Structure 1
Amino acid sequence: MKRLDLKLVLALALTSLSAGAFAQAYLEDPRYGATPEERKQNVLILNFFNDTYNNKNYDGAVQYLQQLMEKAPKATQNIYIKGADIYRNKILRATSLEQKNVLIDSLMLIYDKRIENFGDHATRGKGYIMELKAREYITYKPADREGIIKMCQDAIAENGNNSDPDFLNIYFKELTEDYKNDNIEADVLMDEYEKLVKIFDVDPTPEKAEAKKTFEALFVSSGAASCENLEKLFRPRIAVAPTDTALLDKTLGLLMAGNCISDFQLEVGEKFYALKPSSSTALALAAGFEEKKQFDKALKYLNEAIANESDPATKANLCVRIAGSQLGSNNAQEAAKFAKEAIAIDPENGFAYMILAQAYTVGSNSCSGFDRQSVYWLAYDLLAKACTMLDDEHKKGTDEQLASYRANFPSKEECFFRGLNNGAAYTVKCGWISGSTTVREGR
């Protein structure tokens, strides 16, 4: 028992020494007041403030808060952090719009006082506090569009390249909403986009890159990123820096995201490809030229995409794309060539068999009579095989296609005349088309 009493005495003594040291410290600290008497009084008020705040007695805490902001405004940032929390709680409990607005004004004043007294803080200074204030204003004054935009712009101007990426997205989302509601013109949104994207591009980090994706998505979904507006924004910039690969890449990405198949998109794509060739860019160009029915240029880039591609499955799909473009240009023999190449790379590519079947039926016009009809046996085999590899979505229409092939089979009489029995093996020879198949009698 005596040992326990001794421990208690020691603990009380240490507490007393600690309290005395703290008392001596604050009595000499000018943040708490001009004189020792004022400091002692203000520390007492600070203790009362913390107690009432911790007990969620927010009405009582407000009285102490006001005294602290008047008598010891530089005592600690915590009085403003807790003060903001107090007013948020009081706003939630407001019983009228008038009362709510008064409380919101008081909340904004808390941030102004914090900036006034702690704006020079190394990490949580003026710019940091201005962002917090703007976020609160968006929450509590959503209808004040001009006020929101100005407050956000002021915070970004203060922070510059150190602006929080998430805050940039919050601000830009507000701008896109204003654009959708016809509160601002497209030019305003485009100008702000151009300013903000530069901040995202300074000292990129994984977090910044992820936030930038959201930023770009907001821009595209706003509707302001129309093909016409994108060209208006980026054409002058590219004219000034035609070899800036980062600018060309960004422009091409936005144009593609907006599905802008235009002369400008193809122009940008070709500039970028000339400086930084890749299969993905070549493929994008091929798709654009296909859309414009310029199959020769589409084929050029599809061939270059194959040359730049190492993945077998992707390479096979590119061959299929080329085969499709060749069919679109009525080059059935070339279409068949690339379809066969795709099959050689990937024997399970159903699209390759489908295009090869179509190429053969188009190419059958190079011969006539029975030889031409026999091609449909070969085409039927290929399309039937494709159907075993394709899903239901991509098999749509194949039943009708197969039926049309059967309608072109040689008749029973024609087969009999040539001594061909149903089910027998047969080698098709029709111009450049050849292959092994099975005899099937038509009607």
Structure 2
Amino acid sequence: MVYKTEISINNKMKKYILFMLMAFVGFTAIAQDTDDDDEDDNNPEACQNKWGSDSVTTAKKLSLFNQYYQEKKYVEAFPYWKYLFDNAPCIQKRITYSGPYIIKKVLREEEYKPRFKGLVDTLLLCHDKRIEFFGQEGYVLGKKADDMAKLSPANREEALAIFSKSLKLQGDKTKYDVPKDYVYAGVKQYKKKELSLDSLFMILDEVTPIIDANIVTYTAAGASVKDSLKGVKWLSTQDAVIGMMKPYLDCDKLEELKKPYYADNKTNVAWLKATVKLLDRGGCDSKAFYLECSEALFTLEPSTDAALSLAKAFGKQGDDTKAVSYYTKAADLAPTDEAKYEIWIKLAKTAKNNKQYSTVRDYARKALAINPNSGEAYILIGDAYAASASSCGTGDLGRGGVYLVAVDKYYKAKNVDPSVAKDAQDQINKYSSYFPGKEDAFFKGINNGDSYSVGCWIGETTTVRTIGG
């Protein structure tokens, strides 16, 4: 009887030890089994027998796997991982989460290269099992598509379909590397003549709104450091995508591809947007077809950005009348005073370049109505006055009188806006040297400190200062 009791106690102890081992093994890696990219959608019903048919062996294998994994000895960890994946795949998230990474490490080893195809199949199955047990379908499909496209090129067409599904599920939550991986796979398929150019552009159309939306979100003013770093990654993605597509973004080819569909889509906002963006990325913004599509889009959906794009495009063509018209529309549609201000300043500079000096002041005054402390606006007015000295210097003090009112504006710029103080002072130094001479003014009955009016389009009154006075 005593002997039987001892056996009973030993069996209980074994069960207790096994239970503690299972608990310990499960706990040691739980902190590292999370995925920061998305929230889990666990499916308890999919994982009904977590420890498999042999819980003791599973516990031993799991302990050894975690030991090697934590030491980053992935090749050594592989045999234990393989047992767990085959027999207890949901024992830990790490089994499916890190399985693809482990297999990629193993595939570099000579001894495993004969098993390449089978291991790749297992790798892809890892992604499926992860979705089955832990959800995150859209996010994981992006990983699966990339692995399939790169490790199993014969199945690249299927990979492209998986990429597309991933983007549809994730939308703007897509991870930054998925769009460039998708385009890369598409370009590879096109080069093999297994994908049409039109289909390649459709891929570009899919990824572009997601890239644009994330750049806007993560590069916005006031973004946190973490978000700003994401913004850098998205900008890098945009550069990579444009770089891969650049050889195919020829304006003639793009027009050949898109123009046959224009008549049927000239009232289709989505099609017009995609086409305008595509042409813009191809450097076709001065082409007649780009302008035709852009104006059609602006008519259907007026916006500041669309008006600015048209203004710049017509400016490149030398059509200043249309350029100014669209700049003015952009200012009217601008959602903020800051945006309106920037447009008025841009228009003032454009008018200055075109030697339309009275118009420079008109636009600069509109900018000042929004920001009375704009030194830049006052400098533009001063420059317009100084440039008009020849045509407006018809008074008693000649050109010198015009330079007086120009310098007044530079002083005003310096006083209201310290950020332009140096530029303003440079202009003051330059044009003060052209002030009227004291003797010339005296012979005309004008002295320092007198009031003096400049006519012409300027119509300003100033205080006389003379050289040598």
- TM category, shorter: 0.5 to 0.7
User: Residues of 1 paired with 2:335 and 2:215: CA distance?
Assistant: 31
The change in CA–CA distance for 1:194 and 1:404 in structure 2 (over 3 A counts) is same
Question: What 5-or-longer segments of structure 1 have no aligned partner?
Answer: 1-7, 20-30, 33-38, 139-144
Alignment counterpart, residue 373 of structure 2, candidates 348, 363, 367: 348
Q: How does 1:7-26 map to 2 (within 5 A)?
A: none
Alignment counterpart, residue 407 of structure 2, candidates 357, 377, 380: 380
Question: What 5-or-longer segments of structure 2 have no aligned partner?
Answer: 1-7, 20-47, 70-74, 219-229
SS at match of 1:168: helix
User: Residues of 2 paired with 1:345 and 1:277: CA distance?
Assistant: 23
SS at match of 1:348: coil
SS at match of 2:343: helix
Report what 1:35 is aligned to: none
Report what 1:282 is aligned to: 307
Q: Is it true that 1:195 corresponds to 2:234 in the alignment?
A: no
Aligned-residue offset at 1:134: 5.5
State whether residues 45 and 64 of structure 1, in contact with CA within 8 Å, keep that contact through their aligned partners in structure 2.
no
**Higher deviation after alignment, 159-168 or 261-270:** 159-168
User: Residues of 1 paired with 2:77 and 2:466: CA distance?
Assistant: 98
Report what 2:265 is aligned to: 241
1:306-362 per-residue CA deviation (whole Å, 9 max, x = no partner) reads: 332463343333333333333344332233233233323322122221221222234
User: Residues of 1 paired with 2:81 and 2:466: CA distance?
Assistant: 101
Q: How does 1:172-251 map to 2 (within 5 A)?
A: 172=182, 174-175=184-185, 191-195=199-203, 197-198=205-206, 216-222=238-244, 223-224=246-247, 226=249, 228=251, 231=255, 234-251=258-275
| Alignment TM-score, normalising by the size of structure 1 | 0.66
The change in CA–CA distance for 1:168 and 1:320 in structure 2 (over 3 A counts) is closer
State whether residues 371 and 430 of structure 1, in contact with CA within 8 Å, keep that contact through their aligned partners in structure 2.
no
Report what 2:443 is aligned to: 417
State whether residues 324 and 347 of structure 2, in contact with CA within 8 Å, keep that contact through their aligned partners in structure 1.
yes
The change in CA–CA distance for 1:336 and 1:408 in structure 2 (over 3 A counts) is same
SS at match of 1:315: helix
The change in CA–CA distance for 1:62 and 1:433 in structure 2 (over 3 A counts) is closer
Report what 2:3 is aligned to: none
Alignment counterpart, residue 434 of structure 1, candidates 439, 447, 459: 459
Q: Is it true that 1:330 corresponds to 2:355 in the alignment?
A: yes
The change in CA–CA distance for 1:105 and 1:111 in structure 2 (over 3 A counts) is same
Alignment counterpart, residue 262 of structure 1, candidates 273, 279, 286: 286
Aligned-residue offset at 1:194: 1.3
Report what 2:120 is aligned to: 108
User: Residues of 1 paired with 2:214 and 2:418: CA distance?
Assistant: 39
State whether residues 149 and 171 of structure 1, in contact with CA within 8 Å, keep that contact through their aligned partners in structure 2.
no
The change in CA–CA distance for 1:327 and 1:134 in structure 2 (over 3 A counts) is closer
User: Residues of 2 paired with 1:286 and 1:119: CA distance?
Assistant: 51
User: Residues of 2 paired with 1:208 and 1:404: CA distance?
Assistant: 43
SS at match of 2:203: helix
Letter of the 1:157 partner, please give it: A
Larger Rg: 1
Aligned-residue offset at 1:242: 1.4
SS at match of 2:419: coil
State the number of aligned residues.
395
Aligned-residue offset at 1:377: 0.6
User: Residues of 2 paired with 1:425 and 1:286: CA distance?
Assistant: 45
Give the fraction of aligned pairs with identical amino acids, expressed as a percent: 21
Letter of the 2:269 partner, please give it: T
User: Residues of 2 paired with 1:406 and 1:125: CA distance?
Assistant: 70
State whether residues 371 and 428 of structure 1, in contact with CA within 8 Å, keep that contact through their aligned partners in structure 2.
no
The change in CA–CA distance for 1:259 and 1:12 in structure 2 (over 3 A counts) is same
User: Residues of 2 paired with 1:284 and 1:245: CA distance?
Assistant: 16
State whether residues 97 and 130 of structure 2, in contact with CA within 8 Å, keep that contact through their aligned partners in structure 1.
no
Aligned-residue offset at 1:101: 3.1
Aligned-residue offset at 1:374: 0.7
SS at match of 2:446: coil
State whether residues 316 and 345 of structure 1, in contact with CA within 8 Å, keep that contact through their aligned partners in structure 2.
yes
Report what 2:327 is aligned to: 302
User: Residues of 2 paired with 1:398 and 1:221: CA distance?
Assistant: 44
Report what 1:62 is aligned to: 79
The change in CA–CA distance for 1:48 and 1:160 in structure 2 (over 3 A counts) is same
Aligned-residue offset at 1:49: 4.0
State whether residues 451 and 461 of structure 2, in contact with CA within 8 Å, keep that contact through their aligned partners in structure 1.
yes
State whether residues 176 and 218 of structure 1, in contact with CA within 8 Å, keep that contact through their aligned partners in structure 2.
no
Q: CA RMSD in A?
A: 5.2
The change in CA–CA distance for 1:366 and 1:280 in structure 2 (over 3 A counts) is same
| Alignment TM-score, normalising by the size of structure 2 | 0.63
SS at match of 2:436: coil
State whether residues 62 and 86 of structure 1, in contact with CA within 8 Å, keep that contact through their aligned partners in structure 2.
no
